[in-house]
Chain A
Amino acid sequence: MDRPDMSIRALPVTPILEVRNLTTSFRGSKGWSPVVRDLSFHIAPRETLAVVGESGSGKSVTALSVMRLLNPRSARIEGEILFGGTSLPGLSDSQIRGYRGREMSMIFQDASLNPVYDVGFQLMETLRIKRGLTQRDAKREAVQLLEKVRIPSAKKRLDDFPHELSGGMRQRVAIAMALACKPQLLIADEPTTALDVTIQAQIVELIKQLQDEERMSVMFITHDMGVVAEIADRTAVMYRGDLVETGRTADVFAAPRQPYTRALLASIPRLGSMNGTDLPQPFALIDHRSGEPVAAAEAEVAAPPASAAPRLSVKDVSVRFDVRGGLLGGVTGRVHAVEDVSFDIAPGETLSLVGESGSGKSTTARAIMGLNRVRQGRITMGDLVAAGEGQAPRSALCDRLQMIFQDPFASLDPRMRVGDLLAEPLRVHGTAQGEALRTRVGELLRDVGLSPEMAARFPHQFSGGQRQRIAIARALALDPELVVADEAVSALDVSVKAQIINLMMEIQRARGLSYLFISHDMAVVERISHRVAVMYLGRIVEIGPRRAVFENPGHAYTRQLMSAVPVPDPARRHLRRGLAVDEIRSPVRPLGYQPPPTRMIELSPGHFVLDEGDAAQPQAKGRPADLAKA
């Protein structure tokens, strides 16, 4: 996309939005405490400012302060906010209402449409009230707005309720609603965070195009440095309520001035940064206070010996869920969550399963752990059957096969002390007792970078990253051969994410552990994997050594997935023109559906691609609602 020439912006222009010394405080049990401190920034006409930061940085609160959407009872705003020269804090409630929706609009993380009104009502409401249109004009205009955000068959969508639309479509409707009065400023608060990466790419692209068409300014709030690099003219980096650094996006990325920014950038996985290498490699992290490199082992994780017998073997596995409906609650269809999936994992090897929502990657992981029933096929762990016919009891498997879950706030029992959590499996399986047990718990904590004294604490006294360390320690307690990590770093902030990944690699090196690493994040997968399997609609469409898959993707979907990943490098800003309005397809199939046989073609040694022949893509182009309607 052609951006306006930078020289135009160099001219002194009155900013659309100017924030000076903004301090926002929340009322707590100990009086007012600032969440955003002494913040100053501005946004020029037609400019995109990205506000980036990790959780707790105050970036969303900043946006809500500008819109004055915080409850005055519990939040206090100090400082100056000028919108086109008018001071917003001085306005009355009805005056600020005139600005909202008309001069400045906002979209949120999860489109947040009212569930009990249809799309048309919510769009037309804005048009009627804010622009004074008649019902008839509003309807015509609503259709045009939906077309503007590239929603296919816009007219029909007016009668749809939010839950009938996919997440990407809902976000498009929200954008259409925000554009209803041609605002001068669009504030987008993490608008793509809840979306799949291919959908995220579409929405980011849409916002960029609309900004051009509508000649508006955008304040884009995100935690994703990749998205920032894609979209922003200038970037403001926030950390714990302070503005750390602001500048032209290219400058911030090329020459970050502050240690925190450097640390943040160092911890971001960049797709393509591993080109030319074969083995997983830890991040070279930087301390966010000193700006110095963190002394961490940067050794690669060695490849497993070629001759080794596989530890885990997944053979022709299918998992299906019944969709019930109709008069008698009978089975009307099936979700073919996992279809004919096979792979092996060698000792000391990391295999990643990567794919978007509905691809079946987590279901595969859960099937291996016995949390989902296997319909067909068999999963073996050495001489034991982990799932399928002749399944071994859980107690026999749990010292070979363990799991780390996604949400570190849900995966630890909140009512047990960390020490008890780690000791429980050891005690139940009679592995250790008494003093030996306590020593073992201490060792486990030390292995994951925590101190043994922390055993006396409860999970809620730890941060997300620390909790995930505890979850790893628990998975290691029974000294397993293979650990399944199901989106284990997805819920963590980038800098913490990098640390946990480094920790996982370090443990792998020390113990010769194997990982099955489930993730939707291509860049993280690139870092950690020896081999990669790409899943789409329940099938593995491509599998092979990481280097082969990433450098020579053989399947169209793999290529699509890779090109959708935002690259945290403004110099390599994607030049995408086509605006596909793709949906993640639904794996719901009618009863009696016979999946085509799985044939893999070997592109290079160990690198296979699914041969789809004529029966290329499934016909059903489903929306989530189809599941409910079925």
Chain B
Amino acid sequence: MFASILKRLIQAVFVVLCMTVIVFIGMNLIGNPIDLLISPQATQAERERLIVEFGLDQPVWTQYLHFLDGLLHLDLGRSYIFNEPALKVILTRLPATLELAVMATLIAVVVGIPLGLYAGLRPHSPVSRVIMSSSILGFSLPTFWVGMMFIMIFSVKLGWLPSSGRGETVQMLGADWSFLTLDGLKHMLLPAINLALFKTSLILRLTRAGVAEVLPQDYVRLAHAKGLSARRVTMVHVLKNVMIPVVTVVGLEFGSVIAFSVVTETIFAWPGMGKLIIDSINNLDRPVIVAYLMIIVLLFVTINLLVDIIYTLLDPRVRFASGRAA
């Protein structure tokens, strides 16, 4: 078990290294690195100084090592726009994105799993058909369009909820949080639902598919043959088997929620990492883009690692094997 976690850890480090290479190649080999790294506003003298400073006159692998060295010292350059260390710029936006993503995931889980269970256990009931049809709608609707409609209906027409910003925030652990105030929660509601919509459908359908797969299994039949109540068969024997893959996917999809917050944050002017990255792309603020990418890579690798460990803990069949098949 310990060996298996260690093995995963080594793999994770390897993935991070791979991504640094890809990001490095993306920056240096596709397009002109001078344009990418040096602000277009720089003077000629400044350019030449910076070319030497960034080591662009050095061979490629020296540059890569230099880049890695910067990463290890948490030095990812300075943002042209904010004139602050890029890493710091990103990290100040991280809490906003995290709380939004957590809230959206919670909504998706709380809505998706029960509905999926219901639809799986009663596949022929009219309610299940409605649930399944709605889920098609749920993963068909483009997030950005739903966001627009939300604003138009709930903010503009009905005036129930605010359409932009984080609202009132409270300081905790050195960061600002919206979920601790009523006003903040109000601001968070629309974007969180917007972000949750796709994931809700996904989790719902996954849960239903899981139930459909588990129900005909012989061990469910055996549980009935033991004379257990239908409720116990469902809650004990079916549920755990269904939940193992669902938990895994919820974990893995958390990363994707953070990524999709790019769209939601842009529409709801939510000042998180996602909005920042779009602004940075439009402003050609390369250090911020690189810093964002590296943070995302780290975040994802960590999530994948955690999910793997949780999966190992949940499923006895994997617990004893040396590793999960990819």
The A367-403 residues at the B interface (CB cut-off 8 A) are none
Name which of B109-117, B221-229, B252-260, B267-275 contacts chain A: B221-229
Using known A-B contacts A161-B316, A161-B317, determine if residue A98 contacts B221 with beta carbons closer than 8 Å: no
| Contact, CB under 8 Å: A97 / B229 | yes
* Cα distance A329–B322 in the bound complex, in angstroms: 8
- Which of B217, B226, B240, B320 has the largest count of A CB atoms less than 10 A from its CB? B226
Q: Is B219 an interface residue, CB under 8 A from the partner?
A: yes
* Cα distance A73–B122 in the bound complex, in angstroms: 11
Q: Is B218 an interface residue, CB under 8 A from the partner?
A: yes
Chain A residue total in the interface (Cβ 8 A): 41
| Contact, CB under 8 Å: A106 / B225 | yes
The B208-250 residues at the A interface (CB cut-off 8 A) are 217-219, 221-230, 232, 236-237, 240-241, 244
| Contact, CB under 8 Å: A73 / B124 | yes
The A85-124 residues at the B interface (CB cut-off 8 A) are 93-94, 97-102, 105-106, 108-110, 112-118
Of the candidates B222, B320, B323, the one whose C-beta lies within 8 Å of that of A113 is B222
Name which of A319-327, A505-513, A527-535 contacts chain B: A319-327
Using known A-B contacts A115-B317, A161-B316, A164-B320, determine if residue A93 contacts B230 with beta carbons closer than 8 Å: yes
- What is the CB-to-nearest-CB distance from A329 to chain B, in angstroms, rounded to a whole number? 7
| Contact, CB under 8 Å: B244 / A116 | yes
| Contact, CB under 8 Å: A324 / B218 | no
| Contact, CB under 8 Å: A327 / B317 | no
Give the interface size class of chain B: 20 to 34
Residues in B with CB closer than 8 Å to A130 are 226-227
Q: Is B158 an interface residue, CB under 8 A from the partner?
A: no
The A22-81 residues at the B interface (CB cut-off 8 A) are 67, 69, 73
Q: Is B29 an interface residue, CB under 8 A from the partner?
A: no
* Cα distance A402–B223 in the bound complex, in angstroms: 46
| Contact, CB under 8 Å: B221 / A327 | no
Q: Is A628 an interface residue, CB under 8 A from the partner?
A: yes
* Cα distance A106–B218 in the bound complex, in angstroms: 12
- What is the CB-to-nearest-CB distance from A62 to chain B, in angstroms, rounded to a whole number? 15
Residues in B with CB closer than 8 Å to A324 are 322
| Contact, CB under 8 Å: B219 / A118 | no
Residues in B with CB closer than 8 Å to A625 are 320
Residues in B with CB closer than 8 Å to A99 are 227
Residues in B with CB closer than 8 Å to A164 are 320
* Cα distance A326–B232 in the bound complex, in angstroms: 39
* Cα distance A117–B323 in the bound complex, in angstroms: 20
Q: Is B45 an interface residue, CB under 8 A from the partner?
A: no
In the complex, the chain A residue whose C-beta lies closest to that of B238 is A114
| Contact, CB under 8 Å: A327 / B222 | no
In the complex, the chain B residue whose C-beta lies closest to that of A113 is B219
| Contact, CB under 8 Å: A100 / B240 | no
- Which of A102, A114, A163, A177 has the largest count of B CB atoms less than 10 A from its CB? A114
**Chain A residues within CB distance 8 Å of chain B:** 67, 69, 73, 93-94, 97-102, 105-106, 108-110, 112-118, 125-126, 129-130, 161, 163-164, 174, 177, 324-329, 625, 628-629
**Chain B residues within CB distance 8 Å of chain A:** 3, 6-7, 10, 124, 217-219, 221-230, 232, 236-237, 240-241, 244, 314-317, 320-323
Q: List 17 A-B contacts (CB under 8 A).
A: A97-B229, A101-B227, A110-B218, A112-B217, A113-B219, A115-B219, A116-B241, A116-B316, A125-B236, A130-B226, A177-B226, A327-B7, A329-B7, A329-B322, A625-B320, A628-B321, A629-B320
A-B pairs, 5 with minimum CB distance:
A101-B227, A112-B218, A100-B227, A106-B225, A161-B316
- Known contacts A114-B237, A126-B226; 18 additional CB pairs below 8 A are A101-B228, A108-B218, A108-B222, A112-B218, A112-B221, A112-B222, A113-B219, A114-B222, A114-B241, A116-B315, A125-B228, A129-B232, A163-B316, A163-B317, A174-B222, A327-B7, A328-B7, A628-B322
